[in-house]
Amino acid sequence: MFILFPNAKQVACFDTSWHQTMNQKAFLYATPYSWYKDYHIRKYGFHGLSYAYITKRTAIILNKNIEDLNLIILHLGNGASINAVQKGRSYDTSMGLTPLEGLVMGTRSGDIDPTIIPLMSKILKKTTKQIENILNKESGMLGISCKSNDLRDIWIESNNNEYNSKLAVEIMTYRIKKYIGSYLAALDFNIDAIIFTAGIGTSDYEIRKLSLQGFEKIGIKIDFQKNNLAIDKNTEYDISSNQSNIKILVIPTNEELTILEDTYDLIKDN
């Protein structure tokens, strides 16, 4: 690239940089502190470009200053994570040192007991690297459904009452609900909006409904009719009920625009 365009500015935009504002209580693992100090073992988080865009866009939609916003954002695609935003900055996120931690994803397991790795390495007579590969590429919705990592295929089987496909949806949405609940508590139940984004988040009304099921008891209420109509991946929607204490939004992400804006900010004065 440098040879082809020797005078061009080269800019790197990291998906982890958005999460630099996390406090140590959120990003440190309860492992020996020397692991962090000497080897930088900590939660870094991902999907930061997406979260940065959604936070800016939500501020415009709600007509609020970014620094006044408290949000829970769900980036739900084949890779999936959730971000708690406090005062317009990343406060906590579900992905960790790698994208394997957190929610159940298309082929990633999300949270597991780490001792499963050496145990299955011994049982299956595979290396830990091979087990890691299984957890990244053969687990999640694919692993539970035994059929596909594509939620559209899983829904077809689930609607035909196929056991493993139904179970995959239940496990996925149960994990999402647990994270939403924990981030509500982490933000002292003081939030302005819950936002769904990315491929599944913007198109799958059933996943949105199941993910928020039960939260109406604390005033977070979805409008089912609005939700069912919110299926265009390129359109923004407000799917909250008139009785909801907070806004529930569906906003398509635009990571490329975030990269463009960040790049412009870096090079405009040079």
Q: Which domains can be identified in the chain, with CATH numbers?
A: 17-105+140-267 (3.30.420.40)
- Binding-site residues sit at 75-79, 150-152, 255
- pTM of the complete model beyond 0.75: yes
What was the pLDDT predicted at 1?
64
Would you call 15 a catalytic residue per the annotation? yes
Polymer length of the chain: 270
Residue 16 forms beta bridges with which residues?
A: none
53: its two tokens: 């865009």
* Residue recorded with tokens 């496990």: 171
Question: What's the rounded Cα separation, in Å, for the pair 84 and 70?
Answer: 8
- Binding-site residues for Mg(2+) sit at 255
DSSP string of 84-98, one letter each residue: EEETTEEEEES--SS
- Binding-site residues for ATP sit at 75-79, 150-152
What was the pLDDT predicted at 264?
86
What was the pLDDT predicted at 16?
95
Radius of gyration for the alpha carbons in the chain, expressed in angstroms and rounded: 20
Residue 196 forms beta bridges with which residues?
A: 74, 250
Q: How is residue 4 annotated by DSSP?
A: T
pLDDT means over runs of 10, the chain (270 residues): 76 92 98 98 98 98 98 98 99 98 98 98 98 98 97 96 98 98 98 98 98 97 98 96 98 94 80
Q: Which of 15, 192, 204, 223 is catalytic?
A: 15
